[in-house]
Amino acid sequence: MKLAEHFNTFLVDVINLNQTRIDTLKARVDAIVATVEGFDVYSDILIDTTPQGSWAHRTIIKPAGIAGSFDADVVAFVKTHDEWTPADYIDHLYDQFKAHGTYSDKVSRKTRCVTIQYAGEFSIDVVPCIRRTSIWETTEWILNRKDDAEEQANPDGYTEWFLQRNGYVGNNQLIKVVRILKFLRDFKLTFSAKSILLTTLIGERISWFDELGNEFSDTPTALRTVIKRLDAYLQQHPDMPEVVNPKLPSESFTRHWDQDKYANFRACINRYAEWIEDAYVETDRDESIVKWRRIFGDDFANSVVLTKAVSLGETQIDDVSHVTQPPWPVLPAGRIQITATLHSSKEGDFLGTYRSDGPALSLNTWLHFSAKHSFTNGIAIKWQIVNTGWAARVARCLRGGFDHTGSEIWEHTLYRGKHWVECFAVDLNRGVSLGRSGRFYVNIS
């Protein structure tokens, strides 16, 4: 079932950035722009400022986590300064903010921008961009501080391209689908794709022909249409295609991707396309809600109390579709294993040891898990906690993500079923797993 009303609520309550944060962002950006307009030298070369990226495309979403932060980009178009190298545009802007009382403790600089960080809220990247106009053309150039070089760009052209496609489908359905798929990326953590790359892959599936059809009549239908088209495109390309700025073909959006990341993305989109189709065509309301929840989590249709818990229990007890796939490629380079002990309470009396897939434990038992491994420095131990069964599903407490980091964790037996924990030794610098323990099963009666 489409459950369009629940999609609308899910967007408002879970995915969309709320109006208060949008208003705060706009006020902070206005203040930053006014400050730049008053800077020495920059006030003489500044032409205009404009939003860039997700803010310009209206696809910013609520950040993951309770206190998560997000970022917004502002392009500062400037005239050429005859005495500056490309790096000077960023360095001078940074120096001016550093000397300003309001921003001195908030400013930093990156390769192509100066960043103003509002702790716990958001960051704003100010991106200097040279605009050169002749009688033949206007070109724009981002400055690369690291290489001290110019890089041609077309931020306004890209925004116009995306919003044109949003207009083709009507009712901002393309914007909504991009937000939903960005949420899926951040919620599932099963694939990685920069927002500009994901937005381009989605936008390229739209054309003016869509003005004539009804495949974007509501949000779930639009999502189904886009994911089917994207999956079809990816399945036609087993090797990573080049994805470029449609308004500036010399700008590649796949420069940070590789074949492994692409193959994983391709597999994930294929899986989610199947799940979305399954949920969409399901005719039973409760069954459909359960199927949408395996995609988006238990916040989807969270006002609904399912009425078929008993009849669904048998079919769902072994369902692990909510489990996140490990996002790190595995390059084995050592050993890691899990040991477990039983306790009366968290950090309480020792009751004995527990082996994987051991006897069923009673409810309200505490387990202390430890990761024993052969690795030294530079490794983070990431834990995946998985529970299954209808008891956890009805309570909306299914878990399947990577919730903890560290060499040991505590867990509490709350729901009957067969559950497991697994740990991974992750090299965060390289983004790979150097070892995984395998599943440690816990049975609860």
The model's pLDDT over 128-144, given as tens digits with 9 standing for 90+, comes to: 999 999 888 999 999 99
Which one, of 195, 193, 200, lies nearest residue 243 by Cα?
200
Both tokens assigned to 326: 């490990």
pLDDT at 307: 57
Q: Does the pLDDT of residue 322 top 50, yes or no?
A: yes
Q: Within a 13 Å sphere around the CA of 227, how many CA atoms are in the beta-carbon half?
A: 27
Distance of alpha carbon 137 from alpha carbon 243, whole angstroms = 25
Return the closest-CA partner of residue 169 out of 213, 201, 227. 213
Q: Are 316 and 390 in contact (CB under 8 A)?
A: yes
Lowest mean pLDDT segment, chosen from 160-174, 213-227, 316-330, 331-345: 316-330
Question: Which CATH architecture is the domain 317-444 placed in?
Answer: Sandwich (2.60)
The arithmetic mean of pLDDT across residues 12-40, rounded, is 92
> Which amino acid, residue 261?
K
Taking only the tens place, the pLDDT of each residue in 268-315 is: 999 999 999 999 999 988 889 988 988 887 788 888 766 554 333 333
| R_g over Cα of the chain | 25
Mean of the per-residue pLDDT values for the chain?
Answer: 89
Share of the chain above pLDDT 90, in %: 59
CATH 3.30.460.90 fits 14-153, yes or no: yes
Measure Cα distances from 106 to 94, 127, 241, 381 in Å: 11, 16, 39, 31
CA distances from 143 to 56, 147, 364, 401 (A): 20, 9, 58, 39
pLDDT of residue 313: 38
Architecture of domain 159-296: Orthogonal Bundle (1.10)
Reply yes or no on whether the pLDDT at 431 is more than 60.
Answer: yes
Domains 14-153 and 317-444 share a fold: no
Spatial CA neighbour of 32 closest among 105, 90, 115: 115
Residue pointed to by tokens 């903010």: 97
Is the pLDDT confidence value at 66 over 80? no
pLDDT tens figures, 165-188: 999 999 999 999 999 999 998 877
Q: Which two tokens stand for residue 131?
A: 């605009």
Q: Specify which of 9-23, 113-127, 217-231, 356-370 reaches the highest per-range mean pLDDT.
A: 217-231
Indicate the pLDDT class of residue 100, thresholds 50, 70 and 90: very high
d(CA 347, CA 344): 8
| pTM of the predicted protein model | 0.71
**Which residue reads 């899990």 in tokens?**
338
Q: CA-CA distance, 278 to 228, in Å (whole number)?
A: 12
Gap between the Cα atoms of 413 and 421, Å rounded? 12
Burial degree of 98 (CB within 10 A; 0-12, 13-18, 19+): middle
Report domain extents, the chain.
14-153, 159-296, 317-444
Work out the widest C-alpha separation in the chain, in whole angstroms. 83
d(CA 32, CA 114): 11
CA distance 158 to 168: 16
3-class DSSP assignment, residue 414 = coil
Cα dihedral sign for 387, 393, 395, 400? positive
Nearest to 7 by CA among 249, 413, 293, 407: 293
Q: CB neighbours of 270 closer than 8 A, spacing ≥ 6?
A: 231, 234, 235
For 41, how many CA atoms within 13 A lie in the half-sphere containing its CB?
A: 15
Q: Is 248 exposed, middle or buried (0-12, 13-18, 19+ CB in 10 A)?
A: middle
Q: What is the length of the chain?
A: 445
Q: Do 340 and 434 form a contact (C-beta atoms < 8 A)?
A: no
Distance CA 400, CA 411 (A): 14
d(CA 290, CA 286): 6
Beta strands in 169-318 (DSSP E): 244-245, 248-252
